[in-house]
Structure formats: structure tokens, C-alpha cells
Chains A and B, each alone.
Chain A
Amino acid sequence: MRIVCRCEDVTYDEVIKAIREGYTDIESLKRKLNIGMGPCRGRICIPIVIKILARELGKKPEEVGYPRERPPITPLPLGIFASGDNDEKKG
């Protein structure tokens, strides 16, 4: 068994199966398998999945593209943001 995503325990075979079921773009694969959604934020799994997807589709990795980045770039506790002096600010 080859693990592709360590945060979510996703295997190579699961990636191949999902691609063959029609999840043929990186955003759909992310949502189907939860790759890139764990605490590593996709640093381990996404490049691997891009390579697999590119190979399956006969494309270049850069044609597959990278999922949209979502901040923050590293996990941060809610408490950091709660302690700011923003009491008077309104959105």
C-alpha cells in the first residue's frame, strides 16, 4: 500500500480510482479525497497527486495546475487573532 497523503491516509490506488471515476481536475480530486486539506496543507500530497493526474491524463504537471491557495500559510491558533485590539473595529 502506497500512501500519497499522510494527513488523510489516502493511498495511491484511491487516487487512481477517483481519477478513473471522473474526478479529473485537481480541485475535484482535493474535495473527493481530502488531499491537501490536512495540517500539512498539501505540501506532501499535492505535488504527488499532480504528477499522478498528469500522467493519467497524458498532460504535463503544469497543465494540471495547483489548487487555489487559502490563507494562512501555516496553521495558527484562534487565540492569536482574538487578542488583537480590534474591539472598536467593525467589518
Chain B
Amino acid sequence: MMKRKANIVVIGGGISGLSIAYNLAKLGMQDVVVVEKSYLGSGSTGKCGTGIRQQFTTKEHIILMKESVKLWKSLSEELGIDVSYRQTGYIWLIRNNDELKLFRQNVKIQNSYGVPSKIISREEALEIVPYLNPDAFIAAAFCHTDGKASPFKTVNAYYEAGKKLGVEYYTFTEVVNIIVENKKIKRVVTSRGEIETNIVVNAAGYGARKIGEMVGINIPVENFRHHILVTEPLREFIKPMVIRGKLYFTQTDRGGIIGGIDMPEPPDQPLKARLDFLETFAKNATEVMPVLRNINILRQWSGYYVVTEDNHPILGPTEKLGGFYIAAGYSGHGFMMGPIVGKLIAEYIVYDKPSIPIDSLSLERFEKGELIYEKAVIG
């Protein structure tokens, strides 16, 4: 049975919503419910490339991800389920001197915030990832504290840990409206009945804009489809996330090689597969690592990057409507940010102040014209 009344309704059962709900319950909040229109992890979380990195180009992203990595390191222990988190690094292959110059600048910024990235030689790169084609790059940027985890295991771990703390989950339940009276949230109308509440968290991923419209708040995100594939499982030989330009690939905890490459498309494309993605990926990936030619592709699929103009998420309360919080628009980085976002949004709701200031990531930054541009977006 569905609750008729809740302290907080979290919309969206991806890593953001699940982490927020878990953290709220951990801070002692009762009657927290998660409403998910499909199954848990059915949106961008379950479709993602598994990577967790700190090699960004802005203070906001670097600090958030540095703090998120601290949480990732003990997440399996905290949630009581192994999420297959591993600090196997991210290695960006640098193709020419112009790129090298940019990466030197990025490394400098990252180091200034305590992220231990560094430029390494081609020989050092080949030691970290054997079978790379030495002609495909001239040097690399490497951060050994970056890594990866299993999105499925992480979703299930948050779900089960939250359930133990009393969080309730309503899957295959769609939010159809949010009733606001006198500038206060009154209730959430779902496909399975209404829930009275004064606090709503919009962690609806590619549905975040639509949820915003229900309360008259414009959430400036666009949903861009990205393509991804996985191969048959093999013994581990690609430990870090390997990146070159818009190409990325690594090996999952199950041994399959997972990877993607940018295929520029207009927004709001349906989640279908494109054959020419396989061609573009295969051509680039086998150039970077020729032995991949003989490895079988098992599946390809697509998922949305929910993208903001400055490639940073929208996090926190909204000035226009008290009790309405947003955690969306990660621009392709939502999985990796899940642990820290859950903690900070829960702190915002419970203490009215997160332990790391994230005011600069508010919705209001778009109206004020205070955007912070991230350049390092891949896939």
C-alpha cells in the first residue's frame, strides 16, 4: 500500500534520488518515499559508462568529485553491499601538442585542489594499459584516484540500505502532477494515488524539466541521447577508464568492455540504437587498441545526458517555491556524483545548510547569468 502522507517525496529512483533518500533517512528523517515511474536505475544511472573521475576543469566539479570519491571509497562498507568500486584511474590519451598544453593547464588546476593527476609519458601509459597503440597518442594525463563502480550494484545497495532505514519505494509509479497552494507544496499526484507532502525533491533525471513544469519552474536542461556498448566478458586487462577525445572505454566488474563515443544529435531523440555508432566506436577504439578487433560486442543501448548550458548540475532549493529541491542536469556525470549529491541535498533539507557550499550550482545562476563552464565532457 502506498502512504497517503510523507515528510518528503523524492521523484526519481536513479542514483541521485536513491542516495538523497538514503541520506535523509540516515539523518533521522522519517516518512521518506521515492517515486519512480519505471524500475530503480531505469534512467541514465543504469545506462551509464560506470566511470568516477575528478579530472574536471572547474573548481566546483573538482571539489564535488573529490568529496564524492571520499564517499565512494567507503560506500560498500557503509551500505553493506559491495558496489564494485575500484580506484583504477582515468587515463586521457593526448594526441598532439595543443592538447598537451590544455591538459597541463587542467592538471595544474586539479593539483591546486588536491587531486593527484599528472602528465605521464607514452611509455608510462603503456605500462598502465598494455595493448594501447603507441601511434595513437603522444602522452597521457593520469589520475590514479579516479575509478569506476557498478551502477546496478550501487542502485541496489542504496535501495536496500534505505529500505532498512524505513525509506519506501514506489516503482512503476509516475508523478502526474504536483499541487501547490499559496506558494506551498500540498501534494504529489501519482498514477497510483496522491501523497500529501510539503517537500519534493526533483531528482527525475531526463524527466526533471517536466516535473519542474508541474510547479511552474523552468529547469533549463536538455536531454541528449548518448550511445554505449558492452562486449563479452574477458579477464581484466583494461584497468583505468581510457579516454581519447570523445571516445571512452574500460572494463566492468564483470569483465565486459564498456564504452562509447560522441555521436552529435539534436535533443530528445528516442532511446533507440544506431548502427553507425558501432562503426564509429569500433573504428576509433580499434585504432587506440588494435586487439579489440577480435572481441565480440554483446549489446548496445542508449541513455540521456541531461545537459545544462554550463555542463554543471542544478542542485539545491529554489527561490520561487519553498520545499522544492532540484538535483538534476549532471550533463553526463550523475552516477559519479550520486554519493556526494545525496549527502548535500539531505543536509540542505534537514539542516538548511550543506557541509560544502553549493550555492553556485543553484537554479538561480541561470537567471543571474552566473554560469561556470565545464569543458571536459566525454562520450
User: What are 18 inter-chain pairs, A to B, with CB distance below 8 A?
Assistant: A22-B159, A25-B39, A25-B172, A31-B41, A32-B152, A32-B156, A37-B254, A71-B273, A71-B275, A75-B296, A77-B295, A78-B231, A78-B292, A78-B296, A79-B282, A86-B280, A89-B280, A91-B262
Beta-carbon contacts under 8 Å, B240-288 to A: 254, 262-265, 273-283, 285-287
Cα separation A86 to B275 with both chains bound (whole Å): 12
Task: Provide the residues of chain A in CB contact with B283, threshold 8 Å.
Answer: 81-82, 84, 86-87
Residue of B nearest to A72 (CB): B297
Q: Does B309 contact A (CB under 8 A)?
A: no
Known contacts A41-B298, A79-B282; can you find 10 more A-B pairs with CB under 8 A? A22-B163, A28-B39, A31-B155, A37-B299, A38-B233, A39-B232, A78-B281, A78-B282, A78-B294, A82-B282
CB distance from B19 to the nearest CB of A (A): 17
Cα separation A14 to B152 with both chains bound (whole Å): 17
Given that A76-B296, A78-B293 are known contacts, is A28 also in contact with B273, CB under 8 Å in the complex?
no
B277's partner among A21, A41, A75, A91 (CB-CB below 8 A) is A91
CB distance from A76 to the nearest CB of B (A): 6
Given that A25-B172, A27-B42, A31-B46 are known contacts, is A77 also in contact with B296, CB under 8 Å in the complex?
yes
Query: What are the 8 A-B residue pairs with the smallest beta carbon separation, nearest first?
Result: A91-B263, A79-B293, A81-B282, A75-B296, A82-B282, A31-B152, A70-B299, A82-B286
Q: Does A11 contact B (CB under 8 A)?
A: no
Cα separation A86 to B281 with both chains bound (whole Å): 11
Task: Provide the residues of chain B in CB contact with A89, threshold 8 Å.
Answer: 276, 279-280
* A71-B300 in contact (CB<8A): yes
Q: Does B301 contact A (CB under 8 A)?
A: yes
* Total chain B interface residues with beta-carbon distance under 8 A: 47
Q: Does B31 contact A (CB under 8 A)?
A: no
* A70-B293 in contact (CB<8A): no
Q: Which of B40, B46, B279, B287 has the most CB of A within 10 A?
A: B279
Task: Provide the residues of chain B in CB contact with A86, threshold 8 Å.
Answer: 276, 279-280, 283
CB distance from A87 to the nearest CB of B (A): 8
Q: Does B171 contact A (CB under 8 A)?
A: yes
Beta-carbon contacts under 8 Å, A19-57 to B: 21-23, 25, 27-28, 31-32, 34, 37-39, 41
Cα separation A49 to B152 with both chains bound (whole Å): 19
Cα separation A90 to B297 with both chains bound (whole Å): 22
Residue of A nearest to B172 (CB): A25
Task: Provide the residues of chain B in CB contact with A76, threshold 8 Å.
Answer: 296-297
* A78-B280 in contact (CB<8A): no
Residue of A nearest to B227 (CB): A91
Given that A28-B39, A31-B46, A82-B286 are known contacts, is A75 also in contact with B280, CB under 8 Å in the complex?
no
Q: Which of A76, A77, A78 has the most CB of B within 10 A?
A: A78
Task: Provide the residues of chain A in CB contact with B264, threshold 8 Å.
Answer: 90-91
Cα separation A91 to B266 with both chains bound (whole Å): 11
Given that A81-B282, A82-B282 are known contacts, is A91 also in contact with B276, CB under 8 Å in the complex?
yes
Cα separation A82 to B247 with both chains bound (whole Å): 14
* B39-A81 in contact (CB<8A): no
Task: Provide the residues of chain B in CB contact with A84, threshold 8 Å.
Answer: 279, 283
CB distance from A59 to the nearest CB of B (A): 13
Residue of A nearest to B295 (CB): A78
* B278-A81 in contact (CB<8A): yes
Q: Which of A21, A38, A77, A80 has the most CB of B within 10 A?
A: A77
Task: Provide the residues of chain B in CB contact with A22, threshold 8 Å.
Answer: 159, 163, 169
Beta-carbon contacts under 8 Å, B156-184 to A: 156, 159-160, 163, 169, 171-172
B300's partner among A25, A41, A72, A80 (CB-CB below 8 A) is A72
CB distance from B255 to the nearest CB of A (A): 11
Residue of A nearest to B232 (CB): A39
A21's partner among B39, B40, B160, B281 (CB-CB below 8 A) is B160
A34's partner among B232, B254, B277, B300 (CB-CB below 8 A) is B254
Residue of B nearest to A79 (CB): B293
Task: Provide the residues of chain B in CB contact with A21, threshold 8 Å.
Answer: 160
Task: Provide the residues of chain A in CB contact with B300, threshold 8 Å.
Answer: 70-72
Task: Provide the residues of chain B in CB contact with A75, threshold 8 Å.
Answer: 232, 296-298
